[in-house]
Amino acid sequence: MSVVVFKIVSVNCGIDIKGEDVAVGLQVNQVIPKQLGNVSVRQYLSRSLNSDQKSSPAQRKSCPEISLRLETGPSAKRYSPLAAENGFLQCQVADFGSEFLTSTLANIHHFIDDDSVPEVMPMKIRVQKAKLHLQDDSPKNNNSDPEPEPIVLNIQDLLVERYDDGSFCIKGNGDTSTDTSTNLKELKEIPALISDSTKSIQHRSTQTLCDSPAPPQQLDVRGGSRDRKTPVISMEQLLDENECLKQELAKTKMALAEAHMERDSLLHQIKRLTLDK
């Protein structure tokens, strides 16, 4: 399977309720995709565990990369008649840059497929100053062939609108028929719920080997039974034990996930054989 992991840094959310009108705003400071390519479930789970332990904190940006605003209620009628019933979604993506594999884009429809018919929601999406690198990772017929050059996609200013009839309209920077400055300005008015004091919190992680337990504490028996001291467990030992338990739990989850996949595969084969008969 083709795996891509999205690391989301610093999420702010705000909710405004006035009677029947509800507005929900969401800001994501940074989204960092990590391409793992075609890997098995065991490789993915074991690799993600190790990468989480060694991940370094990302640098916070001055402006959020993704801003979302969803409005429902009678006040959303100012956007379109259908918005009062199904809501209106605004999205702005700015200064976003990343790399994507073609296998990820080709298989992403498995993630968003849905059997139910979704309701038409009017929306407005603006993409500004985005840069995408598309790398072809398809199997090569000849191993001696050179690696294909990545395709660079630069998006300076793009506007995508969805109307009440479900149709989409794509506009460029030169299209000024629709004034979106007022609507997109509302995306920047989401209150920051994370205070500056949280920046001073330090997260500490340790990595130990479960196969080499720590030596036992020595007892002071110089003064007899009355002066005998109980062993003192330090905070570092507790953290090491906690880390060891986390690793054992991750291995158990990995084995359980593989068992579930094998069961689903067998059920699928049995169902296919039954239909063939």
Q: Tell me 73's DSSP state.
A: S
Q: Which residues pair with 25 in a beta bridge?
A: 14, 69
Q: What is the pLDDT of residues 217-233, one digit of tens each?
A: 444 444 444 444 555 67
CB 28 within 8 A of CB 10: yes
Higher pLDDT, 26 or 194: 26
Q: 21 pLDDT exceeds 90?
A: yes
The amino acid that residue 254 corresponds to is M
Q: What is the mean pLDDT of the chain?
A: 75
Cα→Cα distances 179→91, 124, 257, 261, Å: 15, 12, 50, 50
Query: Which of 18-32, 122-136, 250-264 is predicted least confidently?
Result: 250-264
What value, to the nearest 5°, has the Cα angle with vertex 110 and ends 104 and 111? Answer: 80
- Distance in angstroms (rounded) separating the CA atoms of residues 178 and 171: 10
Q: What is the mean pLDDT of residues 41-50?
A: 65
- Gap between the terminal Cα atoms of the chain: 30
- Flag the least confident range among 46-50, 113-117, 146-150: 46-50
What pLDDT was estimated at residue 89? 95
Which contiguous run of DSSP H or E holds residue 52?
helix 41-54
Count CB atoms within 10 A of the CB of residue 69: 24
Which distant-in-sequence residues (6+ apart) come within 8 Å of 110 by Cβ? none
Confidence of residue 267 (pLDDT cuts 50, 70, 90): confident
Looking at per-residue confidence, does 196 or 96 come out higher?
96
**Residue 134: its pLDDT value, please?**
86
pLDDT in tens, 123-152: 999 999 999 888 887 777 777 777 788 889
* 246 exposure class (CB count in 10 Å sphere: 0-12, 13-18, 19+): middle
Q: 179 pLDDT exceeds 60?
A: no
The model's confidence at residue 242, banded by pLDDT at 50, 70 and 90, is: confident
Of the candidates 233, 205, 156, 183, which has an alpha carbon nearest to the alpha carbon of residue 67?
Answer: 183
Q: Give me the amino acid identity at 188.
A: K
Q: What is the mean pLDDT of residues 111-129?
A: 82
Sorted by sequence, the CB contacts under 8 Å of residue 87 that are 6+ apart come out as: 70, 71, 72, 76, 121
The pLDDT value given to residue 1: 62
Is 0.85 surpassed by the pTM of this model?
no
* One-letter amino acid for residue 235 of the chain: M
- In the predicted model, is pLDDT for residue 184 greater than 70? no
Question: Which of 95, 78, 98, 97 shows the shortest CA–CA distance to 34?
Answer: 98
9: how many CB neighbours lie within 10 A of its CB? Answer: 16
Q: What pLDDT was estimated at residue 246?
A: 82
- Residue 266: the pLDDT is 86
Answer with the residue of higher pLDDT: 198 or 46. Answer: 46
pLDDT of the residue at 123: 94
d(CA 104, CA 35): 8
Residue 139: strand, helix, or coil: coil
Per-residue pLDDT tens for 189-216? 554 444 443 443 344 444 444 444 444 4
Interval 159-182 mean pLDDT: 74
- Give kind and range of the element (H or E) at residue 259: helix 235-276
| Residue showing tokens 């990995």 | 254
Q: Token pair for residue 107? A: 């298989």
Mean pLDDT of 114-129: 85
For 171-194, what is the mean pLDDT? Answer: 53
Assess whether pLDDT exceeds 80 at residue 2.
no
Token couple for 30: 């940074």
Name residue 134's amino acid: L
